[in-house]
Amino acid sequence: AQSVTQLGSHVSVSEGALVLLRCNYSSSVPPYLFWYVQYPNQGLQLLLKYTTGATLVKGINGFEAEFKKSETSFHLTKPSAHMSDAAEYFCAVSFSGGYNKLIFGAGTRLAVHP
Amino acid sequence: ETGVTQTPRHLVMGMTNKKSLKCEQHLGHNAMYWYKQSAKKPLELMFVYNFKEQTENNSVPSRFSPECPNSSHLFLHLHTLQPEDSALYLCASSQGLLGGGNTGELFFGEGSRLTVL
């Protein structure tokens, strides 16, 4: 069965520090991988996605993620955190072949302090 | 502004009430979704519609009744809910079903926060 695990429900960093949010997936077929962000009182917004090709994917707001098949991981990083990055981040996976739904991880809440 | 509008943003209802949540998308998409977001739980897919036809019902209790009159509008009719149904209900749309040309970008509304007393 396919699943997504996000390590750490809460992550706290200082402004200017590296952001690292971890995501591991389980899949028997090649996955499509995503990171979504949810700001308070808003819906989810796509940050970036991996489908095929280059394994290092760049997204909005300076975030990037690298697909590592051998580690079944898709960790999200940003070199320097900004206060406005405080939000909840969701990793998600879908699959080719007509499968029509995203499977979401439980989310990681990122806090950024001065 | 994502192009997906949900109303009402907040709803409080008793267990015997009947109410509806509305979702409208202005993106020209063909597929629409209802998700449930509860505290400390992953997002749960409830229903999927493609060109007004329901393609997925993820074992949702019958007290939740979806309606999709056209590709731009999606409703979730609620009746005899339980307190554990209190959650944020998110509507989303996509250009097509995942795997059918769309690889996963969903456009979400801001959600309807439901409280069942």
Average pLDDT over residues A43-50: 92
Q: Which residue of A has its CA nearest to B2?
A: A45
Contact A43 B4 (CB under 8 A): yes
Structure confidence by residue, pLDDT tens digits, B30-70: 889 999 999 878 889 999 998 888 888 888 999 999 999 99
> What's the confidence (pLDDT) of residue A100?
55
Chain A interface, Cβ < 8 Å to B: 4, 9, 32, 34, 41-46, 49, 51, 90, 92, 94-107
Phi and psi angles of residue A44, each rounded to the nearest 5 degrees, phi first: -85, 145
Instruction: State the pLDDT confidence band at A98, using cuts at 50, 70 and 90.
Output: very low
With the CA atoms of A33, B45, B5 and B71 taken in that order, what torsion angle do they form, in degrees rounded to the nearest 10?
90
Instruction: State the pLDDT confidence band at B105, using cuts at 50, 70 and 90.
Output: confident
Instruction: State the pLDDT confidence band at A74, using cuts at 50, 70 and 90.
Output: very high
d(CA B68, CA B83): 26
Of B107, B75, B110, residue with least CA distance to B94: B107
Provide, as residue numbers in chain B, all residues whose Cβ is less than 8 Å from the Cβ of A34. 104-105
d(CA B87, CA B44): 11
Q: Which residue of B has its CA nearest to A39?
A: B110
Q: Do B65 and B79 form a contact (C-beta atoms < 8 A)?
A: yes
Asked if pLDDT for residue A90 goes beyond 60, the answer is yes
Contact A42 B41 (CB under 8 A): no
